[in-house]
Structure 1
């Protein structure tokens, strides 16, 4: 069991979401930073989509038993019983120890995977918490103090690895992730994006400003979308549009002219013009931004976006192979 002593805003149980329900108006939801969740799970021997915790600053958790855990994603000054807890490393925690997340150094969402995964009921095939729809997790809500989370049965090798760490050290100090596998979170990232279906709806000077100027993240940023502030985007003519499909990464422009980038809990249909779509490989950079951070968009092609995704997938396959070899040596 894991007890929640204190919960940061929007901290919740997440996995890779519930695909296949868009026609019913239900978003995929799941982890905002899917890459960080997958890495954390791999490090403790879980399936990549196992249920884990998406955590924000201010969270405190007590472990009721020994566990093998890994923390990935944002650097939130994590400490375990007063000692820094490293990111992207398998770590053994002991019964009774408390993990605390403090001030953010980079990013805003961290992912804690526990060997065996979190054992909660499935809701439409997923344990992911959709805060907007009230699905999954703990009754479709964020974590709160007093919650207790059950952990599933870990694999034999994970149990053996925990014992191996207990004999030598808390963490696998002789091994580290390839830095190329990790998103480079920034306070001013450049996001690759392809032109959207309605890009031509905008005046030429607005299109040029969108691809040239920086936009600031406003306080209206959550798991539904990230509202930006900057150069106003003006359409060539005001006219009604038919609603069309939208996905995370779509950049919509409401009547006020300020762009809104949709995130994991966004609606599945929208009637605002879509000026661009952020490449999926750069979505982790978007969801780790905080109010006041800046973002720019770099024009790319669908082919270039797919190639970037393929390169990242190849690096993930390499990580799987490396972890298998490393574990085999310590079996």
Structure 2
């Protein structure tokens, strides 16, 4: 399966679940900003969650199917359009060779993930296909996608992907009558980000802590895959000592010397010297990935146990989705 990029959009890169085994060597995790959307796009075509997808930031992109392709997409940054018709998300979609598919703007979010049966076939770098733009490695030649780039799907489809493809071809369908409900896996309050208070919370006075948990923050224009700068009421430190560089991870919220917040994201550094006031619960990182400059959010405190329970519940739901899809197609 093969596509040619006609228009790459603002920023389109190949991503997977990231590289975690090289943090001690100061290599960032990278990977899909919205891991949930990435995984659902893969599940819809029968892929393993770790297969590479294309992460489109915003829309205004298009590509041509050079061969017949089985794809799916998920995320709030764009809609896929074929011959003027909106294609449903979180479904397998079959297109014949020569088809041109466009991505048009979805004002709700920022990022959309395109999966192909078998995953996008790019080389592994440090056990991952994810693009890390700052260092120029991983993904497609270590860079963002450009016009005329040709991407090829993995050569070997698994049993489920083959059966999905066969069913659509035999019935002359673009997509089946089922889909994955992504919204059922997301909280109702999409602008409330749940956090666990972090190690240096005691460095701030009570008024600042209360302000952090009650006031709104706006995503600044100076935000990218490394982190979001948040505009709001500055926080005041009661401890003036400097912090030795210490571990940070996607979802860590740091407080700069001027009292402003920085929420670290997928391409963030592995250590940092700013005090950490909170850590975003893993289940809410997909909400953060869909934020755009100008979006306003609030933070809500939960306990570590609650964050872990929410994570395990979602993993259970994702496992059930995989089992249901497998069961549906093993009966064919």
Give TM class, smaller chain: over 0.9
Contact 2:40 2:180 in 1 (8 A): no
Contact 2:160 2:330 in 1 (8 A): no
Deviation at 1:184, TM superposition (A): 5.3
Match of 2:167 in 1: 164
Match of 2:186 in 1: 183
Deviation at 1:104, TM superposition (A): 2.1
Unaligned runs of 5+ in 1: none
In structure 2, what is the Cα distance between the partners aligned to 1:183 and 1:221? Answer: 23
Deviation at 1:10, TM superposition (A): 2.2
Contact 1:89 1:176 in 2 (8 A): yes
Q: Which runs of 4+ in 1 moved over 3 A?
A: 178-182
Contact 1:21 1:27 in 2 (8 A): yes
Deviation at 1:185, TM superposition (A): 8.4
Match of 2:270 among 259, 265, 268: 268
Contact 1:181 1:315 in 2 (8 A): no
In structure 2, what is the Cα distance between the partners aligned to 1:254 and 1:133? Answer: 25
Q: Where in structure 2 are the equivalents of 1:28-67 lying within 5 Å?
A: 28-56=29-57, 57-67=59-69
The 1:184/1:113 distance shift into structure 2, 3 A limit, reads farther
In structure 2, what is the Cα distance between the partners aligned to 1:272 and 1:283? Answer: 20
Match of 1:147 in 2: 149
> What value does the CA root-mean-square deviation take over the aligned residues?
1.5
Match of 1:288 in 2: 290
Match of 2:103 among 101, 104, 116: 101
Deviation at 1:251, TM superposition (A): 0.3
Deviation at 1:77, TM superposition (A): 2.6
Q: Where in structure 2 are the equivalents of 1:224-239 lying within 5 Å?
A: 224-239=226-241
Deviation at 1:236, TM superposition (A): 1.0
Deviation at 1:262, TM superposition (A): 0.2
In structure 1, what is the Cα distance between the partners aligned to 2:285 and 2:293? Answer: 16
Contact 1:75 1:87 in 2 (8 A): no
The 1:72/1:182 distance shift into structure 2, 3 A limit, reads farther
Contact 2:44 2:179 in 1 (8 A): no
Unaligned runs of 5+ in 2: none
In structure 2, what is the Cα distance between the partners aligned to 1:88 and 1:310? Answer: 22
Alignment coverage as a number of residue pairs: 328
Contact 1:185 1:288 in 2 (8 A): no
Deviation at 1:75, TM superposition (A): 4.7
In structure 1, what is the Cα distance between the partners aligned to 2:266 and 2:219? Answer: 17
